[in-house]
Structure 1
Amino acid sequence: MRIAVARLDQTPKTVVISDLSHDGRGVAHWPEGHAQAGKAVFVVGALPGETVVVQQTGRSKHFDEARTLDVLDASKDRVAPRCPHFGVCGGCVLQHLEADQQIEYKQRVLLDNLQRIGHVLPGMVLPPLRGDSWGYRRKGRLSVRRVEKKDKTLVGFREQDPRFVADLRECHTILPQLGFKLDVLAALVDGMDGRRDIPQIEFIAGDAAIALVFRHLQPLGEADRARLAAFGQAHGFVIFLQPGGVDSVQPLAGEAPPLSFHLPQWNIELVFRPLDFIQVNAKLNQAMITRALELLDVQPGERVLDLFCGLGNFTLPLARVAGAGSVVGVEGDAGLVARARANAAHNSLANVQFHTADLAQDLRGQPWLKQGFDKLLLDPARAGALEVLKQLPLKGLKRIVYVSCHPGSLARDAGYLVNEAGWTLQAAGVMDMFPQTAHVESVALFGIGDW
């Protein structure tokens, strides 16, 4: 439980940073002479090897929190942040760390989690997958807040203190067509009659269009709808409205152009809706699919199971390379499954099936589970896949490729596969899906014996 900031000793203190935490903060310990000497303190904006002056911002039983006031002795890996909002906006936490060191840090986080949580290490560490460090983000959610005291509407990500919305003029990780128009977007909302009724704006980009989805708590008047239409036309955005739940999303006017992206290596086009899940980084997504398929090494006639398949991001390329084999995709969101089936038909793929199932629940009644498979690919959410792994007939499989967006859940599941189910963690490595952030995306290959 944190103690209110007003009760903290906020006198500047000098500390030496020894490490980076899993969320990108510098790790130090209060020096001798401090009332809490030896206690760990996590410092925003500090890097290993640095001597910094800090101000305490939080306190808990086992550690304190602080922010950097001044860098007395800088790391050789420190660089000047590109974005003027760095340090306030919570969207990025590593802009001050050189790009090569960012990926080294993420590799260490992955290996540390595997060893500490799963009690396992890979036989081989895969080379990191990397792409553009800036302007890569094609999907996200911007918060909107009207601040009456400032007579201003804020549009941006949450601040490092998540109670507040960052007042952003620009974002260097969002696609530049939108990232350098955030001030214009904020001015649009501020000029609307319904500005107090818009809590968020989601953005998503296909190959040919960028969609903006305006969530609104009250119906928008004709004047506001006209303002949105003019904004979309002037800046090249497709505007959608969301008056209620996910199913309420509709184009502002008329028939919106379809949203899609191509996977040219496999001659596949994936069509999606504005609130569907797609991978944030388009270039990394293609590299990730390539690596996953190489690791899985599908042979002619083999049957492949793809769990948490979404729109078919892995399933359809797998079906393309499977040839005479077949692929089954399973996903819990019925809407995504419907669009995955439509995408299979759109790409003339007849050797693939899709099923809807909650993969965290009892699967004994699912007919697809009894079909028998040679290879398994899974790409779960942050919670991981332990429940489904415990229900699968793993003994019949030759290889498992696990794509992960959270190293902790991957480590836990790897521990189960290796230490309880008898598999070998043959290889693992990171993929820099979210440069400038502490987010760690990774892929792991499980097999029998060495690789």
Structure 2
Amino acid sequence: MPETRSYTLDIESLDLDGQGIAHHDGKVVFVDGALTGERVVARVTRRKPSYDKAQAETILRASAQRTTPPCPHFGVCGGCAMQHLDVAAQMAVKQRALEDALAHLGKVRPDQILPAMQGPAWGYRHRARLSVRLVPKKGGVLVGFRERRSSYVADIRECRVLPPHVSALLLPLRGLVGGLSRPDRIPQIEVAVGDQATALCLRHLEPLTDADLRRLRDFGEQHRVVWWLQPKGPETAHPLDPAQVDALAYALPAYGLRMHYRPADFTQVNPFINQALIARALTLLAVRPEDRVADLFCGLGNFSLPLATQARRVVGIEGSETLVARAREDAARQGLADRTEFTKLNLFEVDAEWLRGLGYFDRMLIDPPREGAFAVAQALAALAPAERPRRVVYVSCNPATLARDAGYLHHVGGWVLKAAGAVNMFPHTAHVESIAVFEPSATAA
């Protein structure tokens, strides 16, 4: 079958890349631009031994959940994969992905499915890494996200998931970078939007000239942004104006807190969902004033400091010394130093003996990176019943590793998966965030 051949397909389901899944001549076909329940004419773009890739050319029968993408760059820009699908339907896809991962990979099912967590569908992305590329054939410098399934930078002029004032900077940034001494040596600009300031962190592979610095300062004043410069790794990032080192922060008004951070620090992309996620995590933990709580992979204290407003003691553990220092600083700044303790440790190399050595925790929160928290799961599974926290809340950004860890906790450790639910931290993308609740089984050995 030649790659240019088109044929009619009935779309059976949707994968997490926003591709329709169909079958043709006993082979799986992934169809860009098609939705569940649709009948489409699709053109084959790539053939593999076990599957084909195709592009929907004509929608013969449209899904009731199909919407018109508002972004003119959808389909080319790789920043979004699901703008053609109703937002509520996107959430259902992610919830199903979570449940399927738990059932098929972890062989475990939650006792309760938590209500889906959703927030604003547009303008939510307060963290972003914009690629920069000098492309003379396209008129100069491009600033934006990469093209879908490509290393090329998309020629985008607006972005609906960025805050409007950041989207409006895309074209001015092209002109700015194009006017620097070495525009070919600027690979990226990191965006961080706080509640009172917007920071742009410029990665530059060659030293900037005095004229470059003047251009940056003039741009910052005109567009009300704070410039940071990063000549090498993230640890080299520093503000162009040292007085603006603490300009970035986000408020957690429910707890009377403002969390300070730097552009290179990890913070959640979506501040609206982050606030709701903290509230749900603390509600699910059911923390009491006398509790001692562990916050593993605590970062800069996003959960630790809110927990410290409710618990007797919070022990935060994190692999980054930079984030540990940031958490300590904010705890002291906000009068919580005597209720918190922060330690640097590689949580991918821990065991039950280490966990016992920390003393008993009434509650535990785990918020790992995509790799999950398998070593922590093994340690929890090995604890005796009297040593186990009464409840563990696990915040995940990868359903596969959550499922792996949940399966181990349940089948080896006898923990019960009490509840789980998806969180739409990244609308219109394939990213699935989730939250799960574990309790020790009454019959655990």
What is the CA deviation profile of residues 249-277 of structure 1, one whole-angstrom value per residue up to 9, with x for unaligned ones?
A: 12223422521111110111111111100
Q: Secondary structure at the match of 2:281?
A: helix
1:93 to 78, 81, 86: 81
1:136 equivalent in structure 2: 124
Instruction: Tell whether the 8 Å contact from 1:8 to 1:58 is kept in structure 2 after alignment.
Output: no
Distance 2:140 2:40 in 1: 35
- Note if contact 1:194-1:224 (Cα within 8 Å) is conserved in structure 2: no
TM-fit CA distance, 1:449: 5.2
Does residue 219 (structure 1) correspond to residue 207 (structure 2)? The answer is yes
Q: CA deviation at 1:8?
A: 5.7
Question: What letter matches 2:18 in structure 1?
Answer: G
Matched-pair contact (CA < 8 Å) for 1:262–1:268? yes
Pair 365,198 (structure 1): closer, same or farther in 2 beyond 3 Å:
farther
Q: Which residue of 2 aligns with 1:347?
A: 334
Aligned counterpart in structure 2 of residue 49 of structure 1, from 25, 37, 40: 37
CA deviation map 1:35-66 (0-9, x unaligned): xx121011111100111222222233321212
- What is the CA deviation profile of residues 81-139 of structure 1, one whole-angstrom value per residue up to 9, with x for unaligned ones? 01100000111011000111111111111111110101111111011111101000000
Counterpart AA for 1:415: G
Which whole-Å deviations, capped at 9, do the CAs of 1:351-404 have from their partners, x for residues lacking one? 110000001114578588432211111000011001122124643211110000
How far apart are the structure 2 equivalents of 1:223 and 1:13? 58
Instruction: List per-residue Cα deviations over 1:400-443 (Å, max 9, x = no partner).
Output: 10000011111111101111110111111111111111211110
Q: TM-score, structure 1 length as denominator? A: 0.93
Give the SS at the match of 2:260: strand
**Residues 241 and 326 (structure 1), Cα distance of their counterparts in 2 relative to 1, 3 Å cut:** same
> Which residue number corresponds to residue 108 of structure 2?
120
Match of 1:22 among 16, 26, 30: 16
From 3, 6, 10, the counterpart of 1:12: 6
Give 1:446's aligned residue.
438
What is the distance in 2 between the residues matched to 1:52 and 1:71? Answer: 5
Could you tell me which residue of structure 1 aligns to residue 408 of structure 2?
416
Equivalent of 2:47 in 46, 55, 59:
59
Q: Provide the TM-score with structure 2 as the length reference.
A: 0.94
- Counterpart Cα distance in 2 of 1:367 and 1:347: 28
Residue 420 of structure 2 corresponds to: 428
Q: How does 1:369-384 map to 2 (within 5 A)?
A: 369-384=357-372
Distance 1:46 1:330 in 2: 44
Tell me, yes or no, if the aligned pair for 2:115 and 2:421 is still in contact at 8 Å: yes
Deviations 1:200-242 (A, max 9, x none): 0000111100100010000111222211111111111101111
Compute the displacement of 1:182 (Å): 1.0
**1: CA distance, partners of 2:111 / 2:301:** 30
Tell me which residue corresponds to 2:272. 283
Shift in Å, 1:9: 1.2
Unaligned stretches of 5+ in structure 2?
Answer: none
Quick one: distance in 1 between partners of 2:219 and 2:281? 40
Alignment-mate amino acid for residue 329 of structure 1? G
2:74 corresponds to 1:82: no
Which amino acid counterpart does residue 279 of structure 1 have in structure 2?
Q
Matches of 1:118 and 1:364, distance apart in 2: 21
C-alpha change, 1:364 and 1:425, in structure 2 (3 Å) is: closer
State the percentage of identical aligned residues: 48
**Aligned equivalents of 1:362 and 1:432: distance in 2?**
31
Deviations 1:68-91 (A, max 9, x none): 222221111000001100000111
Residue in structure 2 matching 1:321, options 292, 302, 310: 310
Q: What secondary structure does 1:68 align onto?
A: strand
- Residue 288 of structure 2 corresponds to 299
Answer yes or no: is the 8 Å Cα contact 1:45–1:93 preserved in 2: no
Report the CA distance shift for 1:282/1:347 in structure 2 as closer, same or farther (over 3 A): same
CA RMSD of superposed structures (Å): 1.7
Q: Distance in 2 between matches of 1:46 and 1:15?
A: 10
Choose which of 271, 277, 281 in structure 1 pairs with 2:260. Answer: 271
C-alpha contact 2:352 2:378 (8 A) present in aligned 1: no
SS of alignment partner, residue 217 of structure 2? helix
Contact 1:427 1:444 in 2 (8 A): yes
